[in-house]
């Protein structure tokens, strides 16, 4: 099925402000997770913990570094822009979805395979099972993003069609559904109901990105945008005061709550207000170099920063155990004094690892000619593998199974370009014969 012609307002050029903010969002995620890793050594051995559980410091930090709502908004903006460019090229929906899936799954195959191999090595080295299990759990936590973003990208053409028919109505419906889920969760006391908002909250943010891409938000007066941002912030503050949501925005992500939609609205309006200035900053050489580096390695950085953090924590525990050095407990003065060095190591090593591994993000696959049903099956298989990693936990076995399922999903929808070219050449020679 060929995609329809885009509206006249569609553009294909890169948006410097969007690219810069997306790169900053990736950096913010790495910094936030780095601050949440805590490791100490006791008489019983190393103890790994969530440093955010040790005090109230995470609340103000979460207001600065909880950027996932904005990240999904930017994903919606970029996705709709890419879809409209694909329409102009006459691409079909299946090939568009396959390309988006490939960009997510190929880096994931390498990262999860390596994580599974490392966990297996730790098991063979007789590391305490509890530590290995904890490492697998911590590694798997950020993978929720992979599954949700995969579904957002796979359903992007369908959601874009709804947006073109009723942009504000679609966004309002998703927001109302998210609020209804929060109400049902509160009334029933069943937290599991909240996981329905993995769909409603993040798809609402993607739809908000569509609205941004259409220029509807930028077209509003600065006073209107400022007033709307202040009103959303006031409503968010009231929700904290009333006890509807936790002021810790990290706590609002598992499961997602409507508070994150308000955060996304505030962040989007602020982005719109600052967009001219951000575009100027993004054009400067240093900011441009940073943006290019992160943009070309976004999924690699996201998937590998947690293994880097776990390895650093393990190294610190080994050194402390061997030398008798006392590691400062999280949220103490000594711990905060060591955070700059810790962050420099975490960011630097993640960047170094991303240099060679990011080649996986540039692997080219031919455009799939598979029927829509086959493409849908590939997407569902890929998402199911992520769910399994989150529910069962990341271990050598679950990692191997997930990698196998992802390879099947990729094989269902596309083959490597060189192989496809070889097949085409063989077909041509046979036809001439």
List pLDDT tens digits, range 266-299. 999 999 999 999 999 999 999 999 999 999 899 9
For 289, 368, 421, the CA distances from 371, given in Å and listed in that order, are 40, 9, 20
Place of tokens 């240093």: 286
Using the predicted structure, report yes or no on whether residue 131 has a pLDDT greater than 90.
no
Q: How confident is the model at residue 32 (pLDDT cuts 50, 70, 90)?
A: very high
Asked if 139 and 117 count as a contact pair (C-beta separation under 8 A), the reply is no
pTM above threshold 0.85:
yes
Residue 259 CA to residue 355 CA, distance in Å, equals 36
Helices (H), 127-258: 129-140, 144-154, 156-165, 167-188, 197-213, 222-241
Q: What is the pLDDT of residues 353-389, one digit of tens each?
A: 998 887 766 665 555 556 777 788 888 889 899 988 8
Q: What is the pLDDT of residue 99?
A: 85
Q: What is the pLDDT of residue 363?
A: 64
């Amino acid at each position: 099925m060929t995609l329809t012609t885009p509206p006249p307002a569609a553009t294909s050029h890169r948006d410097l402000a969007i690219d810069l903010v997306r790169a900053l969002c990736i950096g913010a995620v790495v910094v936030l997770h780095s601050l949440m890793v805590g490791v100490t050594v006791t008489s019983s051995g190393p103890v790994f913990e969530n440093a955010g559980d040790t005090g109230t410091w995470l609340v103000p930090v979460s207001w600065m570094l909880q950027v996932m709502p904005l990240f999904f908004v930017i994903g919606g903006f970029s996705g709709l822009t890419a879809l409209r460019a694909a329409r102009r090229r006459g691409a079909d929906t299946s090939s568009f979805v396959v390309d988006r899936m490939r960009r997510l799954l190929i880096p994931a195959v390498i990262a999860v395979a390596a994580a599974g191999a490392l966990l297996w090595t730790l098991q063979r080295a007789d590391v305490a099972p509890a530590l290995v299990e904890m490492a697998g759990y911590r590694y798997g936590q950020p993978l929720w993003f992979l599954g949700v973003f995969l579904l957002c990208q796979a359903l992007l053409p369908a959601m874009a069609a709804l947006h073109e028919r009723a942009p504000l109505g679609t966004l309002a419906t998703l927001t109302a559904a998210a609020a209804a889920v929060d109400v049902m969760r509160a009334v029933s006391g069943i937290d599991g109901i909240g996981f329905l908002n993995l769909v409603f909250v993040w798809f609402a943010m993607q739809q908000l990105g569509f609205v941004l891409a259409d220029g509807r938000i930028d077209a509003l007066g600065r006073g209107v945008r400022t007033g709307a941002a202040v009103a959303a912030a006031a409503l968010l503050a009231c929700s904290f005061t009333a006890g509807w949501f936790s002021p810790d925005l990290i706590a609002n992500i598992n499961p997602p709550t409507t508070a994150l939609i308000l955060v996304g609205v505030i962040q989007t309006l602020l982005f719109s207000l600052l967009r001219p200035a951000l575009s100027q900053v993004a054009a400067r050489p240093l900011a441009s170099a940073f943006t290019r580096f992160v943009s070309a390695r976004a999924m690699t950085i996201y998937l590998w920063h947690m293994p880097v953090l776990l390895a650093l924590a393990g190294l610190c525990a080994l050194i402390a155990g061997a030398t008798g050095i006392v590691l400062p407990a999280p949220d103490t003065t000594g711990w905060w004094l060591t955070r700059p060095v810790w962050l420099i190591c975490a960011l630097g090593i993640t960047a170094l690892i991303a240099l060679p591994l990011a080649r996986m993000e540039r692997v080219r696959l031919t455009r799939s000619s598979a029927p829509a049903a086959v493409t849908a099956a590939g997407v569902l298989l890929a998402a199911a593998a992520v769910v399994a990693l989150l529910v069962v936990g990341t271990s050598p076995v679950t990692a191997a199974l997930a990698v196998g399922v992802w390879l099947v999903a990729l094989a269902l929808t596309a083959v490597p370009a060189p192989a496809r070219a070889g097949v085409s050449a063989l077909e041509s020679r046979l036809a001439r014969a």
